[in-house]
Structure 1
Amino acid sequence: MTENVPVVSSRGDRKVTERNRRSHMRALYSKLSSLVPRQTSREVVSVPDQLGEATNYIKKLQIRLEKMKEKKLNLMGTGKKRNANESLTNNSRGIIRGSKSPKVEIHQMGSALDVSAITGLDCQFIFNEFIRILHEEQADIVNASYSVVQDAVFHTIHCQISEFGNRSERISERLKRFVYGSGAF
C-alpha cells in the first residue's frame, strides 16, 4: 500500500512567503529612501521614482568623490593636471622639489621657536606637515598663520617647547629634512 503524502507547499504557504517577501522589500525601499535627501518631504514617491532618485544620488556622490580625490592629489602635489612649471613631487624620503624651492628659517629664543617658510602656491601642504611634525615633537603651537602674496605663500608658526635637551635642534632637523632631504642642509 502506498500512502498519500500531503504536498508541503500549499497555496497558503506561497501567499505567506510572497507577503513576507513584499514586506521585506518595502522595508528595504523605506531604508533606501531615508538615506537619499529629498527636495520635498511631504510628497509620496513611488518605488520606481525612489530607485531613480537613489541611483542619481549615488552617481552624484561618485562624481563628487572623484573631484575631491583629484583636488586632494592637486593639493598634495601629485595631480594629473600639473604643467612643467608646476612639477612638484613629494617622494618617499620627504624631499620636496618644485619650480619654486621652499625656503625655511627656524629661530629659537629661549623656549620659543619661530618657524618661517616661503613656498610657491603649489607647496601649501608644507604648512600642514610642519604642524604635524611640531605636534609629534610635543611643541605647543601658540600661533600659526600664512599669507599669500602673488605666487608666494608665507607661513609663520610660533610655538613653545620645553627645554629638554636638544629638542629645538631635533625639531629644526626634522623640518629641514622634510623640506630639503637628509643631506641637503
Structure 2
Amino acid sequence: MESNPSSSSRTDRKTIERNRRNQMKVLYSKLNSLLPQETSRDRTSLPDQLQEATSYIKKLQVNVERMKEKKDRLMVGMERLGSAGSSSGNGSNRIDVHVTGSILQVVLVTGLDSQSMFNEILRLIHEEGAEIVNASFSVVDDNTVLHTIHAQVDQSELGHGHHKAARISERLKKFVHDADHGAF
C-alpha cells in the first residue's frame, strides 16, 4: 500500500512550520532575557516586546555614541596636556568619576609607570562591593595612559546604591590625590 505523496508533503510542511514557530519562540525569549527587567513581560504582547527591544537597542546606541564623543574629548584634552609638558611628575594623575544611579564611570589618566595605580583603583572598587563591568586602557603618548572603568553597585542596595556609588567616588578621588602627594 502506497502512501499519498501530497499527505506526506503536507505533514512535512506542518512539521517544518511548527519547528519554525518553536525556534522563533526561543529567539524571542533570548531577546527578552537581554532586556532590563523593569516590568513583567509575561503579559506583554510580542509586538510590544519587540518594540521595547528596539527602543532599548536605540537607547544603547545613543549611549555608546555619547561615550565615544566623551572619550574623544578626553583624548584631545590629553594631547593638549602632553604638548604642555604636564603629563609627568607628581600631580600628573587625574581621575574623573561620574555617578549615574548605581553606575560608576571612572576615567583615570596616569603615566606609563603607574599601572599599580590602575590595579589599586580596581581593587578599591571591588572592595567596596561594586561589580566591575568593564575595564580598559589606551596608551595616548610616550608617557600617558587613559584608563576607563565601568562598575555597578549591587542592585540589592537599590535605595542606597547611589549613596554607595558616591562614597566610592570620593574614596577613589582621595586615593589619587594622596598618591599624587606622596601618600601612595
Q: Which has the higher contact order (CA 8 A, sep 6+)?
A: 2
TM-score by length of 1: 0.48
TM-score by length of 2: 0.49
Q: Which structure dedicates a bigger proportion of its chain to helix? A: 2
